[in-house]
A and B are shown apart, each in its own frame.
Chain A
């Protein structure tokens, strides 16, 4: 054991160890949960923060990027909660059912829990952990290799636990609204969403905070999409440009299901969105997409592990990054086609638009194909805006910034179009237009 312990701990690693020692007694959950936390933290202690020699984190060296560990967020008081009144407003037109989380804690009294559709249950993760809900514990007991996920399991505080019974098509989207309002802190939300057979759910997760805050957010969501179900998931990262934000989505997809996931990132100093998706049933359709709009020194990493373990699933990935200033966009896409996953049709595309000479794009596609009757392809590009197109638009009267904005919209449009929910699609495009309008 001692041989595995590394000699040097960074300040952040030491800070995390101190925080865990101080908090372990007060984190939600009885002995079974505490044991899961201990085990997860043990894995972290053995390996430390992921760094550039850990292949999965090659371009996002957390050990270097995370200078210190913030204290764990305190429960929100009245003034903190008051700030959440208008949170998630950019999606106001969707009339989604809003669930409010302030500094990671579920605020039931501000959440829309009225007239729940039959077959829909919504609860708090802190309550579920305290009560030792068997289904929640079972899900948590699958150990994660990933260090960020292990840290989330060790520190998880609150989040949503949502279940949609089979055969229930929810017309209203559910929107998990995360707002950070107290003293800048470490926040570890963990949510679980279980969508029953042939059910339909549109789920939105948004994170916001006032600019200048340097929170450290490590969020995770576990999603089960049963056979014949259809789930749209959209995540919006619009936090302060000083925040550290890591989010892990773990999804198990059943047979004949449809799963669309999309991440939209404009915030954060360092953002990492991880997808761990496994096809657990035949003939499902999976669409993953994302748009990162970055400037200054922002860094956003999208890492996808898509495990085709079953027959005849189709997957499409379209990720776009617009990189201004000295920002950096990272895309790592791994597709695994298991030996029995014949007739898999998987395609992955990642494109970066470099708006400045100081911007950087890193692309790492990895295809691991163990079946012989499959179609699997990937493409990656990085380049500047086409100057000839820009001239064409300017020659028709568009000022330079407007011409660029229109071309950028067209560039990201290809990814945004993959969102099936029309209201969400329009809302995100509006957000993108706002971002483009704010470019100097």
Chain B
């Protein structure tokens, strides 16, 4: 009969360093294809509304007149159904911590 059989591991843990990363200073590289968040390339969007039709969480609303593509990020369940439905392939899933274009750059792009 074994008593205190976890003791060996506990002693080992005392000597070894932590198994966790020093987050957020040290961030793990995302896996390729990680479904983190939805982004759109609005320039190539044709506002067909296929994404809104397929979305199971009703997170997307698309109107043709005026040309508008609205996305409620907190409703999104990150399933990727819209990405598959998009005929123009302007929607994509990027890792959660991927950088987004800054608001200023976006405004500049709009002005152009």
> Do A and B belong to a common assembly?
no
Binding site for B on A (CB under 8 A): none
Binding site for A on B (CB under 8 A): none
